[in-house]
Copies of this chain bind each other. A is one copy, B any other.
Amino acid sequence: MDYRFSKISSSIKKSEIRELLSLTRKPGIISFGGGLPDSKLFPTKEITEITEKVLHTKGYLALQYGPTHGEADMISSLIKFMSDFGEKAEHDEICVTSSSQQGLDLVSRLFIDESTPVIMELPSYLGAIQAFRRDMANMIGVKMDFGGMDIGMLEREIEKLEKKKTPPAFIYTIPDFQNPSGITMTLDRRNELVQFAANRGILIIEDSPYRELSFTGEILPSLWTISGGKGVVLLKTFSKMLFPGMRMGWITAEKEIIDKIIMLKQSVDLCTPSFTQLILSEFISRGNMEETIKKAIELYKPKISMMLSELQKNMPEEVVWSKPGGGMFLWLILPEHIDAKEVFYKAIEKNVAYVTGQPFHCDGSGKNTMRLNYSFPSLEGIEKGIKILSEVIKEFICKK
């Protein structure tokens, strides 16, 4: 049969990164390619205990349909969790989502029509690019340096759009330990960005999956907090600080936006599982979440130190990289004439994998960049893998 698909379905592309990663599934590979938390961290014992308790005392709730915006217990736990990290939100400013990818999906559909301009960082999160591309947004990239988004360039791009009477639907940013770059936006730029967006009446989408995973203890105020909860939609998830298997996230925004999101979510999946919400809610209120975050930080800190010191020792001086203060990723920039995809095929031959940087650029730039994950590989793997990768890169630099 000849199926007639929608326009949206033809705008979806196969993920190049998934294709590349499928080449890396061979024994003995050292992979900097994934975005996975270390499964050693998973508190299976606590989750088992809590699940038993939840099913025993609240089974009738846990296994039944729940409200679209989320279980009351879960929302209370989220408010407490946010407040532990210096953020404030009211009950009616929160909608629980089935992972933060759903948060991106809902935001994309709520604000994007065909050709609607949206602003995002170069590079930015792949899941966001996928969702916005699917909805046929006109994605406009703004460069970053190691202090975050280039606010001057942002202003120029927005002025261009305003001249054409096509203001952007929003500015999408990941200010804390960004995926893919590991870069954190400085406090000054946060203030500038919020001020600028408020003056122009432009919404900010703040995606913040890594904020709590700070290696130094320093956590900068979120854009949500700086803005006083106006004009910012904050996307959160437990996939990175706890584990991804529960697919649990939440959106924080002004009630006007949350109400629209709830209506949209009704047609998308009715509600996020009450089962997993009640488990996580208990996990948070017992203090287990804080504990798990601490453990993750303890586990990842020596890994990033190892990666940074091995890079320092082994990489040729033409190569630069970010110095992440938290999160799971480091960004590596090769000299402009070197193609990170060519390097990838060579590295794979020597059993080292990573992710090329170009797919993270909405404008197709970034051929000479790559993302290195340090949360999943072992310390020994990092040590050995960076040495090998440095050798491979050196060969490319000498050749050209």
CB within 8 Å of B: which residues of A? 1-9, 12-15, 36-37, 39, 42, 44, 47-48, 51-52, 55-56, 59-66, 98-99, 101-102, 105, 109-113, 116, 127, 130-131, 134-135, 167, 169, 198, 201, 203, 230-231, 239, 243-247, 256-257, 260, 263-264, 266-276
In the bound complex, CA of A39 to CA of B131 (Å): 37
Min CB distance A325 to B, Å, is: 25
Contact between B113 and A6, CB atoms less than 8 A apart: yes
Tell me whether B9 and A260 are in contact (CB under 8 A). yes
> Given contacts A99-B269, A203-B1, are A263 and B12 in contact (CB under 8 A)?
yes
A-B pairs, 7 with minimum CB distance: A63-B245, A44-B59, A63-B243, A130-B267, A39-B60, A44-B55, A42-B63
The contact of A269 among B61, B98, B167, B203, by CB within 8 Å, is B98
CB-CB under 8 A from A8, the residues of chain B are 109-110, 113, 264
Residues in B whose Cβ lies below 8 Å from that of A110: 5-6, 8-9
User: Which B residues lie within 8 Å of A12 (CB)?
Assistant: 260, 263-264, 267
CB neighbours of A112 from chain B (8 A): 6
Q: Bound complex: CA of A246 vs CA of B272, how far in Å?
A: 9
A348 to chain B, nearest CB (A): 21
Rounded to whole Å, the gap between the CB of A110 and the closest CB of chain B is 5
How many angstroms between the C-alpha atoms of A203 and B257 in the bound complex? 36
A63–B39 CB distance below 8 A: yes
Q: Is the CB of B111 within 8 A of A5?
A: yes
Indicate which residue in B3, B39, B113, B131 contacts A203 across the interface (CB closer than 8 Å).
Answer: B3
Query: Of B47, B63, B201, B268, which is within 8 A of A44 by CB?
Result: B63
Q: Please state if B36 and A109 are interface contacts (CB–CB under 8 Å).
A: no
Given A201-B2, A244-B64, is A269 in contact with B109 using a C-beta cutoff of 8 Å? Answer: no
A98 to B105, CA, bound (A): 14
**Distance in Å: Cβ of A118 to nearest Cβ of chain B:** 11
Known: A2-B201, A201-B2, A273-B247. A267 touches B55 (CB 8 A): no
Collect the chain B residues with CB atoms within 8 Å of residue A42's CB. Answer: 59-60, 63-64
Contacting pair A260 B5 (CB below 8 A): yes
Chain B residues closer than 8 Å to A135, beta-carbon distance? 6
23 A-B residue pairings within 8 Å (CB atoms): A3-B111, A4-B169, A6-B113, A6-B135, A9-B110, A12-B264, A14-B263, A39-B60, A39-B63, A42-B59, A44-B55, A48-B51, A48-B55, A63-B244, A63-B245, A66-B245, A99-B269, A101-B270, A247-B272, A269-B269, A273-B273, A275-B276, A276-B276
Considering the chains assembled together, what is the distance between the CA atoms of A47 and B51 in angstroms?
9
**Shortest CB distance A155–B (Å):** 18
Question: Of residues A2, A13, A62, which shows the largest number of chain B Cβ atoms within 10 Å of its Cβ?
Answer: A62
A109: chain B residues at CB < 8 Å are 6, 8-9
- Return chain B residues, CB-CB under 8 Å to A231: 1
Q: Closest B-chain residue to A271, C-beta based?
A: B247
A55, B134: Cα distance in complex, Å? 35
Which chain B residue has the least Cβ–Cβ distance from A52?
Answer: B48
Residue numbers in B under 8 Å from A267 (CB-CB): 12, 101, 105, 127, 130-131, 134
